[in-house]
Amino acid sequence: MGAVESVTKVKEGPPAGDGWIRMIGVAAAKGELREVYARLRAGGGDRPAVYTPPTGDVANIVKSHSLDPEGLGLAFGMSTAIHWSPRSLPWATREMINTVTSSANNCFY
Amino acid sequence: MTAHAEFLRAATDNELLARRMKADFRQAGLSPRDRTMLEFVDALSHAPWVLNPAGLEGLERAGFREEEILHVVLGCAHFNYLNRMADGLGIRFEYESPLPAFRPREAGPRPAPPPPVLDPGGDGPEDEAGAFYRVLAGNPEACALASKWRAFQFRPTPGLPAVTRFRIALFVSSLDRCPPGYRSYRRSLAQLGDDAAFGEALNRGQVPAGLPPGERLLLEHAARLTERPWTARKEHLDALRPEGLDDRGILQLTMLVSYLSFESRVALGLGREGVSLPPSS
């Protein structure tokens, strides 16, 4: 990956898989989960391509909610309402807030 | 951090700014307005109890309109949720970034909170129900979702019955020194007929003596995710499995605890007089 940052998580984690619990991506999603993924994608508007992971799947933070589709829809529906509505702060301002919050919480991801 | 520093680089087309922000926003050469906003965000994340109306007044003096302040608080609060989900579930980072790696600190700087304000557990004001959502009225979509999201968190599931969920909520609200939270959750527990001594201890941010071992584990994990989420490890989740939590139950516990960090930061970040949380049962 050259200068590209290693994808190895600094904290310990499983050698394979996307996290410590089972996660279901778009390709394997069925029923309610599939509907929620479709709804979130439709409501996502024209988000910049940088938010699409290299895997082509939904981001792991989204996929981590996949075992509870209702919780997934609510958490990321709220994300859309806060970050991607006509009332939202400018993109750069939002990402400054996200970066500083994540730093305060010592969150690698 | 790693993902959003990269997104900041894309948003600004300014790699130097993103590098500096990733290292230390106070050394990033920001405008006084942005610096004021980010000091507020940093405080709200680290120690939400330190904020008071003076924090909001600082944003107003820096030129932030009411609707902008609402979105600063909501954005910060929602990332307090997401950060705990990411670290609580050990989510693998899957993006690519040319920026230098983020090095998590060994120890967090969360300052010692003040002593808890003990709530007598009596009835609250009649109109408490609407107050929390009224402060979100500047974003009707978020306001509507907030009530659904909260109701979802307190719906009983096989591994997390209602009383357990409210005990966790009272405990976490007390750790965050969030009076609207512990007023609401102590009342909910009383309505469920829970042991008053448990409520008294939880309101002090303590794990009550006499709780079953499994529930003690839940509260200890809730404290970890609330106060030091970056210290969560896979073995902490493995220890919950014999207590009846499968992958879905672990997800639901993590969602609940992470949601409470969102809620306390909205309540305390917008903490003008009268902001309180609605009853949940």
**Residue whose C-alpha is closest to residue B149's, from A82, A61, A85, A109:** A82
Q: How many domains, in total, are found in chain A?
A: 1
One domain, residues B150 and B46: no
Say if residue A65's pLDDT is above 70: yes
| Test the A interface: residue of B21, B35, B251, B257 with most A CBs within 10 Å | B251
Q: Is the pLDDT of residue A82 over 70?
A: yes
Phi, psi for residue A12 in degrees, rounded to 5: -65, 150
* Residue B33: pLDDT band with limits 50, 70, 90: very high
B64 part of a folded domain: yes
Instruction: Examine residue A1 and state whether it is found in any structural domain, yes or no.
Output: no
Which candidate from A7, A77, A81 shows the least CB-CB separation from B94? A7
What is the per-residue pLDDT for A12?
39
In whole numbers, what is the pLDDT of chain B averaged over residues?
87
Instruction: Kindly state whether residue A49 falls inside one of the protein's structural domains.
Output: yes
Q: For B80-120, write each residue's pLDDT tens digit.
A: 999 999 999 999 888 888 887 877 665 555 666 676 666 65
Range of the domain at B44: 2-88
Report the residue of B94, B246, B250, B265 to disrupt the A interface, i.e. the one with the largest count of A CBs within 10 Å: B94
Asked if the model's pLDDT at residue B2 lies above 90, the reply is no
Task: Over range A30-50, report the average pLDDT.
Answer: 89
Q: Region B47-57: what's the mean pLDDT? A: 79
Residue A80 lies in a domain: yes
- Which residue, of B61, B88, B115, is where some domain finishes? B88
Give the count of domains, chain B: 2
Residue B86's pLDDT is what?
Answer: 96
**Residue B157 phi, psi (nearest 5):** -130, 165
Q: Is B157 helix (H, G, I), strand (E, B) or coil?
A: strand
The string of DSSP letters for B229-255 reads: GGG--HHHHHHHGGGT--HHHHHHHHH
Of the candidates A101, A96, A81, A43, the residue with the CA atom closest to the CA atom of residue B138: A81
pTM: 0.90
Q: Are residues B140 and B245 in the same domain?
A: yes
Answer whether B128's CB lies under 8 Å from B277's CB. Answer: yes
**What CATH code is carried by the domain that includes residue B28?**
1.20.1290.10
DSSP at B106: S
Does residue A3 surpass a pLDDT of 50? Answer: no
pLDDT at residue A8 above 50?
A: no
Count of other CB atoms within 10 angstroms of residue B42 = 18
pLDDT at A13 over 80: no
Whether the predicted pLDDT of A4 surpasses 50: no
Tell me the count of A-B CB pairs closer than 8 A: 243
